[in-house]
Amino acid sequence: YFSMALQALVDHKGRFTNINVGWPGKVHDARVFKNSGLFRRLQQGVYFPDRKITVGDVEMPIVILGDPAYPLMPWLMKPYTGALDTEKELFNYRLSNCRMVVECAFGRLKGRWRSLLTRSDLSQTNIPIVIAACCVLHNLCESKGETFMVGWEVEANRLAADYAQPDTRAIRRSQRDALRIREALKASFQSKQ
C-alpha cells in the first residue's frame, strides 16, 4: 500500500497551524521537513515574530519542538540522545510533556477520521487534499469544543497497528547556537524543580 506523510506544527491548544502533506511515507521526516516552506521560513527568521527572551545568558527565539528525527536548530529543540545525566533526563521529560499536545492532536485527528488509517481508493493526487481537509475540520472541532469520544482513539490505535508505517532514521546534526539554547533551557528546567 502507499502511505503518505503528514508533518504538522501544532499550537498549545492542539490545533494544526502548519501542515505539509504529500510526501511518500517512506521518506525520512527530516528530509520532508527540510524541503518544506515552514523550514525555509523558520530558517529565514520570518515565520515567528522577532521576540526573544534571555535564559541565563543566552538570548533565544521562539522555538518549536521535535522528536529525535529532526535536526537541532536554534529554533527547533529536540531531546538529548545517548547516555543521559539527570539534568538531560529532566530536560527530555519536560520536553516530552510539552510534546504531548502534539501527540494528542494527532491522536484526535486519527480518532475523528479513522479513514486516514486505512487503505484509500483515492488517487495519490487527491489524498493530500483529503488529509488537509481533515486537518481543517479537526481545527474547527477543537475550536468549537466538539465532543471527542475516547473510544474513537482506541479504535484508531487498533486500525493503525494494521498499517505499520515505514521506519525513518534520525539525522544527527547540531548547530552551536542550537546547542547553547538547549543547554540554557536545560539549566532553566533545573532551577524550576
pLDDT in tens, the chain (193 residues): 578 999 999 999 999 999 999 999 899 999 999 999 999 999 999 999 888 999 989 999 999 999 999 999 999 999 999 999 999 999 999 999 999 999 999 999 998 998 888 888 888 899 999 999 999 999 999 999 988 877 777 777 776 666 555 443 333 334 677 888 888 898 888 887 5
Q: What is the pLDDT of residue 118?
A: 82
Handedness of CA 110, 164, 103, 172 (dihedral sign): negative
Most distant pair of Cα atoms in the chain: their distance: 55
Q: Report the helix count and the strand count for the chain, using DSSP H and E.
A: 6, 6
* Phi, psi of 58, rounded to the nearest 5 degrees: -110, 125
Report the alpha-carbon distance of residue 109 to residue 117 in Å, rounded.
10
- The whole-model pTM stands at 0.78
Contacts of 58 (CB under 8 A, 6+ apart): 180, 181, 183, 184
Q: What is the pLDDT of residue 159?
A: 67
HSE-CB for 120 with a 13 A CA cutoff: 18
Q: What is the pLDDT of residue 63?
A: 94
* Phi, psi of 83, rounded to the nearest 5 degrees: -70, 125
Burial 66-87 (b: 16+ CB within 10 A, else e): beebbbbbbbbbbbbeeeeeee
Report the alpha-carbon distance of residue 156 to residue 98 in Å, rounded.
23
